[in-house]
């Protein structure tokens, strides 16, 4: 035995140079994690929890892939990495497989092996890397995977989360701007490195990333509040319902559309239900609907300060209607959404008592939409409350009284 003999794994002795090298390499990969606060990591975890497709934008080498691997490991999920730039469109749309009788049975589109693996697992992170290096034809094929969650003829399980990473086109190899239809399907997060985190990580300790935990008791009211916030905001800012940017670079990022407003609604509900960090929510909202609309929406939500709809329904006479029209609509929409989530006669009648405040305030038109929704929830055996009289005209036009 020579002087190079050292203890390797399992206390076995070896003088093989490559085994010694591999043992040292393995040691460099042995790290630990610790809880740490990072708004960008919490925004990622919030979007992943909400099962929204996420796209991490960052320069090469800032740790996007490593972050996702650590997130998957922390959640105990398998991760399937697909380098989008080196695949063909058929790898996402599927390859036709002709059967015995295609005229009667059709021609199914066979999925690739990575899709089959994650579908069999039933859960996991599906990671599309180098997205901005994928040519337009590949991006077009990815549309159905990201939105409809289908690879060829194979549907992805609901618990599979989709995450992607991209370098800015100027930094990417043969970089392309994302097409607007594909970009509008993601929550865009800008990923940067923190020198302090990198320094501590190279010393052996990296921050842990965990998905926030929903508090079941907060969830119904959180969703109702989110519906009210979005409805009130878009009533005040209808021009932001859909706004496609003029330049190609902006169209390849986050911008408001009915699709991304649905994402914002879900992010608001999840953030409220798990009491997420404000900065994390701000980053996630900006990543869904754009920087400007995201800041406006968050400011509107904070200034609105909607009460818990469940408390309003429990004591409808104890709450005053806001003075501004957009805030009135947000308040009434939240209350109606809470009733819709769990319909009982007592809650339904309490909802009408809240709407009556709009009549007393001289703005029955603001409550008209909520009145129609509330009327549609009526059980045939429930008596019509007296508060309905103020809304007879609008309910007659909508057909709600007939129902």
Taking only the tens place, the pLDDT of each residue in 119-165 is: 999 999 999 998 988 888 999 999 999 989 999 989 999 999 999 99
| Residue 299 forms part of a structural domain | yes
| Residue 67 forms part of a structural domain | yes
| Residue 42 forms part of a structural domain | no
**Domain check: are 162 and 230 in the same one?**
no
Residue in the block written with tokens 């097409």: 179
Q: Could you say which of 166, 185, 204 is where a domain stops? A: 185
**Domain check: are 368 and 229 in the same one?**
yes
**Domain check: are 280 and 346 in the same one?**
yes
SS3 (DSSP) at 74: helix
Full residue range of the structural domain in which residue 73 is found: 54-185
**C-beta contacts of 171-174 below 8 A and 24+ residues apart:** 171/59, 171/60, 172/130, 172/132, 172/133, 173/85, 173/130, 173/133, 174/85, 174/133, 174/135
**Domain check: are 75 and 161 in the same one?**
yes
Q: How many domains does the chain have?
A: 3
Give the start-end residues of each E strand in 202-271. Answer: 205-207
pTM for this structure?
A: 0.85
| Residue 71 forms part of a structural domain | yes
| Residue 111 forms part of a structural domain | yes
**Domain check: are 115 and 65 in the same one?**
yes
SS3 (DSSP) at 189: strand
Task: At 170, give phi and psi (nearest 5°).
Answer: -70, -25
* pLDDT-flagged residues of the chain (< 70): 1-13, 99-105, 169-175, 390, 392-403
**Domain check: are 323 and 270 in the same one?**
yes
| pLDDT (0 to 100) of residue 255 | 97
**Domain check: are 380 and 240 in the same one?**
yes
Q: Could you say which of 131, 159, 185 is where a domain stops? A: 185
Tokens of 319: 């709450």
**Domain check: are 19 and 79 in the same one?**
no
| Residue 49 forms part of a structural domain | no
Residue 61 belongs to a domain with what CATH number?
Answer: 3.40.50.300
Measuring CA to CA, how many Å separate 394 from each of 32, 370, 388? 62, 11, 10
Measuring CA to CA, how many Å separate 98 from each of 141, 153, 199, 385? 21, 13, 55, 62
| Residue 25 forms part of a structural domain | yes
**Domain check: are 123 and 175 in the same one?**
yes
SS3 (DSSP) at 14: strand
**Domain check: are 84 and 144 in the same one?**
yes
Q: What would the DSSP string read from start to end of 93-139?
A: H-EE---S-HHHH---EEPPHHHHHHHHHS-EEEEEESGGGS-HHHH
**Domain check: are 288 and 384 in the same one?**
yes
Given a contact cutoff of 8 angstroms between Cβ atoms, the answer to whether 352 and 374 are in contact is yes
| pLDDT (0 to 100) of residue 7 | 45
Task: Give me the torsion for CA of 326, 261, 183, 80, rounded to 10°.
Answer: 150
| pLDDT (0 to 100) of residue 12 | 53
Q: Could you say which of 168, 185, 202 is where a domain stops? A: 185
Helical (H) or strand (E) element with 239: none
**Domain check: are 11 and 64 in the same one?**
no
| Residue 213 forms part of a structural domain | no
């Amino acid at each position: 035995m020579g002087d190079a003999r050292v203890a390797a794994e399992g206390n076995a002795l070896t003088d093989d140079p490559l085994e010694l090298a591999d043992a040292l390499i393995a040691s460099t990969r042995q790290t630990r994690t610790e809880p740490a606060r990072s708004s960008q990591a919490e925004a990622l975890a919030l979007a992943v929890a909400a099962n929204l497709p996420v796209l991490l934008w960052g320069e090469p080498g800032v740790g996007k892939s490593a972050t996702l691997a650590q997130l998957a490991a922390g959640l105990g999920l398998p991760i399937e990495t697909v380098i989008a730039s080196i695949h063909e469109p058929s790898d996402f749309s599927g390859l036709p497989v002709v059967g015995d009788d295609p005229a009667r049975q059709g021609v199914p589109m066979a999925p690739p092996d990575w899709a089959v693996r994650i579908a069999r697992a039933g859960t996991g992170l599906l990671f599309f890397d180098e997205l901005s290096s994928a040519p337009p034809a590949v991006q077009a094929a990815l549309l159905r995977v990201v939105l409809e969650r289908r690879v060829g003829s194979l549907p992805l399980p609901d618990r599979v989360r989709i995450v992607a990473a991209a370098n800015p086109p100027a930094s990417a190899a043969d970089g392309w701007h994302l097409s607007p239809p594909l970009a509008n399907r993601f929550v865009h997060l800008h990923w940067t490195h923190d020198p302090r985190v990198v320094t501590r990580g190279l010393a052996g300790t990296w921050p842990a990333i965990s998905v926030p935990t929903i508090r079941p008791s907060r969830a119904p009211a959180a969703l109702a509040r989110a519906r009210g916030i979005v409805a009130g905001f878009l009533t005040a800012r209808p021009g932001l319902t859909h706004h496609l940017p003029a330049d190609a670079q902006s169209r390849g990022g986050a911008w408001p559309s009915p699709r991304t407003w649905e994402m914002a609604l879900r992010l608001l509900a999840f953030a409220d239900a798990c009491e997420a960090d404000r900065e994390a929510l701000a980053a996630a909202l900006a990543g869904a609907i754009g920087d400007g609309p995201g800041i406006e929406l968050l400011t509107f939500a904070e200034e609105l300060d909607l009460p818990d709809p469940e408390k309003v329904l429990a004591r409808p006479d104890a709450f005053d209607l806001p003075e501004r029209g957009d805030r009135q609509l947000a308040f009434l929409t939240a209350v109606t959404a809470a009733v819709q989530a769990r319909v009982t006669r007592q809650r339904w009648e309490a909802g009408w008592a809240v709407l009556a405040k709009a009549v007393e305030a001289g703005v029955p038109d603001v409550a008209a939409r909520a009145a129609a929704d509330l009327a549609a929830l009526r059980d045939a055996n429930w008596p019509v409350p007296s508060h309905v009289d103020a809304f007879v005209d609008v309910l007659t036009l909508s057909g709600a009284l007939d129902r």
